[in-house]
Chain A
Amino acid sequence: MTLQLLISGFSLGAVYALIAVGFAIVFSIFKFSNIAHGGMISACAFIGYFFQSSFEEPPPFIVTALFTTGVGVLMALLIDTIAYRNIRKKQAPGLYYFLMSITVAILIEQILSVFFGKNLHTYAPIFSSTTFSIGGLRFSSIDTLIMVISLAILSALIFVINKTKIGLAIRTVAISPSTSQLMGINSSVVIMAVFAIAGALAGISGVLLGTKFSVYPSLGPSMMTKGFIVSVIGGLGSLGGAIVAAIALGVVEIFLTYWLGSLSTPIVLFGIMLLFLTVRPEGISGRFAKDKV
């Protein structure tokens, strides 16, 4: 049983990690908490759902996932253009970004509630059987798939950030936008790359969450809360810290649910997070929220 729970926990934690990282990467560049990320996740969950339902026979999961990821990228760039670009041009203080992101988040949630909030939507099942067994142990098919996809995406992202030219540019802009300009780095390219990455992460998290749970307007925001806290606990803007904290949260949550039931788990869970923030506000990575990816 323990191993199955562990896989479940890793799977849930890996999705939290996708959310936390999408959140942390925007924070690392702009130093504001992009609350709108949760709204994007909900919107992408719906878009994936409607895309899938528009076919007689649901397309392969990978097609839905790729399509939604692409839409997530476009949506993030659109939100940047409409909501953030002007604030950036005016060099307004960080508070305005924050207000804007709350506004966008609520706007998206309201639109979704008005048009699609009446019914519960569920994705077509991917697997004919919900579990599979290896050597006498039964595993949840969907949890395993989610875990594999999430970990693959996180690895790819870590590679991009640490080993590619654009990744280095993202890290230098996170440290100092003006010095980065002196290296010939085009800040608008970096900003677009960061929103594109965040959008792609919102897209894929939306589809994975929609597949695991069902699709409803506050799906993203509720998950987002955990992603947000986890990215603070990990050390805001630290990708490695956010991933470790997210996976730990997922595992703890699953075990608590098993022992205490799903009703009292959130109380204990948020209690632990409160304790962590009190005792070690600088997060796992040991640095206060500052300029590092």
Chain B
Amino acid sequence: MAGILEIRNLKVFYGVHEAVCGVDMDIAEGTITAIIGSNGAGKTTIINAISGMVKRQGEILYNGKPLSDKANRIVKDGIIQVPEGRKIFAGLTVEENLLAGAYTVKDRKEINRLLEEQYALFPRLGERKKQDAGTLSGGEQQMLAICRGLMGKPRILMLDEPSLGLAPVVVNEVFRNIVRIRDEGITVILVEQNAKKSLGICDRAYVIETGRVVLSGTGSEMLNNPEVAAAYLGSERN
């Protein structure tokens, strides 16, 4: 089974510091791939390298063809990132944030359909569509950030720590939605600190340490792996 995304020997340097040191990954279409690892392991950098936000070395094949290195081209081609810390546009309304997410969608009717789809899934966003997005609660902002990503009609959606700083109930809602997004056929790459929950829903997982893949396997293999348990599941909340 050829993956939708094949990453070979990916390297990223910040100056002389090598943040990602030759990572290989195979992402299968329609699955959730979890990337876990401690702070500063290089998870965000890997995502940014795929997104074309940082200069990368190595090879990334998307549907068998080399992936562009221009950020706007990559989004247009269907690989969309929901960044760490949500990064919603404060000062713009909820609806304008969603419209910004649909920047690459040309058809006005299609944009309206996508808007309705988000409002149907998250009525709270619909109720607040004219509100300054900066005034939303953390949970609402995370939903908005995910919906903004979905507005661009991704084939691959990359979520960077979507549960960060959220209350347990909201975390559960976020994870339920990630599964739903996968079930709609969108390939998900999920970067998480919450290893237990992400290993619980993912089809495959990679553990990153200091810029290298140190372990990979299916979600349940990883959950039962004593090394993983010791390093990442020990002090987990819930």
Which A residues are within 8 Å of any B CB, using their own CB?
165, 168-169, 171-172, 175-176, 178-187, 291-292
**B23: interface (CB < 8 Å):** no
Asked if A169 and B103 make an inter-chain contact with CB atoms under 8 angstroms apart, the answer reads yes
Check A182 against B91 for contact (C-beta < 8 Å). no
B96 and A168 form a contact (CB under 8 A): yes
Residues of B within 8 A of A172 (CB): 89, 92, 100
Q: Which B residues fall within an 8 A CB radius of A?
A: 51, 53, 71-72, 75-76, 80-81, 83, 87, 89-92, 96, 99-101, 103-104, 148, 152
**How distant is the Cα of A292 from the Cα of B92 in the complex, in angstroms?**
9
Given known A168-B96, A168-B99, contact A182–B83 (CB-CB < 8 A): yes
Closest chain-A Cβ to B189's Cβ sits at a distance in Å of 14
| A179→B100 CA distance, assembly (Å) | 10
* Closest Cβ neighbor of B74 among chain A residues: A184
A168/B100 in contact, CB under 8 A? yes
> B92 contacts A171, CB within 8 Å?
yes
User: In the complex, what residues of B have CB within 8 A of residue A182's CB?
Assistant: 51, 53, 71, 75, 80-81, 83, 87
Judging by beta carbons under 8 Å apart, are A175 and B90 in contact?
yes
A181-B101 Cα distance, complex, nearest whole Å: 10
Given A184-B103, A186-B72, A179 and B91 contact (CB-CB distance below 8 Å) = no
Measured CA separation A168–B148 after assembly (Å): 14
CB distance from B72 to the nearest CB of A (A): 4
Among residues of A, the one whose C-beta sits closest to the C-beta of B148 is A183
Contact across chains for A175 and B89 when beta carbons are under 8 A apart: yes
* B155 CB → nearest A CB, Å: 13
Of B51, B80, B103, which one neighbours A165 at CB under 8 angstroms?
B103
Q: A176 vs B104: C-alpha distance in the bound complex, in angstroms? A: 18
- Chain B residues, Cβ within 8 Å of A291: 91
What are 7 contact pairs spanning A and B, CB under 8 A?
Answer: A171-B89, A172-B92, A175-B92, A176-B87, A176-B89, A182-B81, A184-B152
**Closest chain B residue to A166 by CB distance?**
B103
Q: Give Cα distance in the complex from A240 to B227, angstroms.
A: 59
Residues in B with CB closer than 8 Å to A178 are 53, 87
Tell me whether A183 and B87 are in contact (CB under 8 A): no
Q: How far is the CB of A231 from chain B (nearest CB, A)?
A: 18
Q: How far is the CA of A175 from the CA of B89 in the complex (A)?
A: 7
Complex Cα distance A186/B72, Å? 6
* Min distance, Cβ B172 to any Cβ of chain A, angstroms: 26
Of chain A, the residue at the smallest CB distance from B88 is A179
Please report the C-alpha to C-alpha distance between residue A180 and residue B53 in the assembled complex, in whole angstroms: 11
**What residues on B are CB-neighbors of A175 within 8 Å?**
89-92
Within the assembled complex, what's the spacing in Å between the Cα atoms of A185 and B99? 12
What are the residues of chain A within 8 A of B75 when measuring CB–CB?
Answer: 181-184
Q: B residues within 8 A CB of A180? A: 100
Q: In the assembly, what is the distance between CA of A99 and CA of B113, in Å?
A: 48
In the assembled complex, which residues on chain A have CB atoms less than 8 Å from the CB atom of B100? 168-169, 172, 180, 183, 185
